[in-house]
Amino acid sequence: LHPASAAGVEVRIQHTDNSIEEGSLPDLIAPHQPLFDIRGITHKVGAESEPERWLETRFAGDVFEMEDQRNWTDASFKTYSTPLSLPYPVPITTGTKIQQSVSVRPVPPLPEPLRGVARFVNRFIEPQFTVSAVSNAETLDLPKIGFSQLTTQDKRARSLMEALKPNHLYLMTRAERDDGNKPHSMILNFTHALPEVPREVAIYLTNNAEDELVDFMYQLARASQQHKIDRILLFHRDEKSTDAKWVKLAKEILRSAGIMAPIYAGTEGNFTELNRNRPDVGDLDGVTYSINPQVHAFDDASIVETFEAIPLTAETVRSFAPGLPISISPVTLRPRDGMIPPGDPRQTTLFGAGWTLGVIEALARAGVQSTTFLSGAAQQGLMDINTDAVPYRSALWNQDAPGNQDLPGTIFPLYYVFRDLADFQNGVVIPLEGFDRLQMIALQLRKGDRMRTLYANLTRKPLRVLHSTGQETVTVLTLDETTQKFSLTDPEAFRTSRLATLSAKEKKVSISLKPHAYVRVDEESTV
């Protein structure tokens, strides 16, 4: 793997015929393989101010090619064999010897004194980050955040969801066939929960699209008397990315009934499908796609690395759909098979809160206008109100660790991220610096004379933050392995009863974050 940070660097490719090709790795996300027929890759490393140095990677035993894994929000370029264009599977008879090798060497070679010298890292030193606002940086907007439409009638779940002040609730409809030819009627199931919240409606068409859209039009016209429709996400069940003809047809039919909600199109799948099947944007009001961090790898570190690639998906969209708003809908921790993703135990943990904050911070940097997190009340979502014994994993997700047993509860830690964001709707994001997104996330919000900074430790080790402030004191709420058990049932009580006041020293507040801790810092704004 070459890291995503290698985008734009100079490369020299040696092909299998020993010819040399010079170029660079793509800055924007390449829809298809950027490099083919590879025997060796040599790329420039180090800063411009440093002596020129290259790193050579050589491959033997097969033909290799490169894939831009940022298409799936992985933060890497992957070089692999065998080329996907060759037929497979390949029969291999008993006794066949297979030998492949990958070698890496610096060019020119390192000076003799540096050979064999490894950097010593003291694991017992607590990492420390001094976090402050980026000087003279423009403020950013938070994306409009929504959730899947609640299907439960549970009053408590509805109240908890209402406290998050969702910008929209997501629902979907698709035509189901009963005999392979005649489609059922579209069923648009608006629930009565939170009727005042606008809806984001996803439509899945078949080749009977005209009849389905007429049916949908009548239902939507009736429903829009009670519910505002924020946007319509238009898909075709048999297409990886929505063809322009369906968008044009939908506009003709829906506009004839006075339904003026903006129509977005793209893919319900990964960004890859959109990037490889770029739509005609002439009739589009916006572009939509979904993301999840576990297409190729499933460990915590790989999930955290996706925060670097998420903004690049939006930047790439703007290269072929300039000026159009972007809705990333839905965002899920696990890949989806259909609309509902399978559960991931980490979604109910403190790590889930850190992942959520990391995604929101990345979407703000990307300038994404809206996003939907699935689901609302389910183990794939914010809370689980359907059982009295949720397998609720505490901080480290290691059930056998001391003090880390299952806890009965219903409110997941990531709920608190959205609850803390809800207080700052229509506020602005202040760009921050001084932290490493592979270890922690920091997101600062300002609204009027109030300032809020959210921190999440993404690692299994403690770390320390020096929080820059213009105030003498700040108010801190900590959700970690020591306080998690108090957060399970009554969010508002937890948010008000567990507060601490910390004093600043030389305009810095020292805050210790336990493994996977989530911390909220409130203060008055000095702007």
pLDDT digits (tens, 9 = 90+) for 178-233: 455 444 445 566 666 788 899 999 999 999 999 999 988 988 888 777 889 999 99
Q: Which pLDDT belongs to residue 282?
A: 92
**What is the domain partition of the chain in residue ranges?**
2-110, 128-135+425-524, 144-406
CA dihedral angle for residue 329, residue 333, residue 336, residue 339, rounded to 10 degrees: -50
Query: For residue 519, is pLDDT > 80?
Result: yes
The secondary structure of residue 498, as a DSSP letter, is S
Q: Which pLDDT belongs to residue 391?
A: 43
Q: How many whole angstroms separate alpha carbon 255 and alpha carbon 217? A: 9
Residue 374's CB: how many other CB atoms inside 10 A?
Answer: 22
| Paired strand residues for 513 | 463
Is 496 exposed, middle or buried (CB count within 10 Å of its CB: 0-12, 13-18, 19+)? exposed
Number of residues written out for the chain: 527
- Residue pair 350/413 in contact (Cβ under 8 Å)? The answer is yes
Each residue's pLDDT tens digit, 271-322: 999 999 999 999 999 999 999 999 999 999 999 999 999 999 999 999 999 9
Main-chain dihedrals φ then ψ at residue 488, nearest 5 degrees: -75, -25
Q: How many whole angstroms separate alpha carbon 245 and alpha carbon 239? A: 12
Q: Which pLDDT belongs to residue 338?
A: 58
Q: Which pLDDT belongs to residue 401?
A: 40
CATH number for the segment(s) 144-406: 3.20.20.80
Each residue's pLDDT tens digit, 52-74: 889 999 999 999 999 999 999 99
Q: How many whole angstroms separate alpha carbon 108 and alpha carbon 365? A: 38
Q: Which pLDDT belongs to residue 23?
A: 95
| Mean pLDDT over each residue of the chain, to the nearest integer | 88
Query: For residue 500, is pLDDT > 50?
Result: yes
Q: Which pLDDT belongs to residue 42?
A: 95
Dump strand ranges (E) for 309-438: 326-331, 370-373, 428-430, 432-433
- Residue pair 320/278 in contact (Cβ under 8 Å)? The answer is yes
Tokens of 426: 């229509």
By DSSP bridging, strand 168-174 and strand 144-148 are parallel
Does the global pTM surpass 0.85? yes
Q: Which pLDDT belongs to residue 192?
A: 64
Rg (CA), the chain: 25
Residue 104's CB: how many other CB atoms inside 10 A?
Answer: 9
Q: Which pLDDT belongs to residue 46?
A: 79
Each residue's pLDDT tens digit, 132-168: 999 999 999 999 999 987 766 778 888 888 999 999 9
Q: What b/e readout covers 327-349, taking b as 16+ CB neighbours within 10 angstroms?
A: bbbbbbbbbbeebbbebbebbbb
- Side chain identity at residue 9, one-letter code: V
Q: How many whole angstroms separate alpha carbon 363 and alpha carbon 328? A: 9
Looking at domain 128-135+425-524, its CATH superfamily turns out to be: Golgi alpha-mannosidase II (2.60.40.1180)
Query: For residue 340, is pLDDT > 90?
Result: no
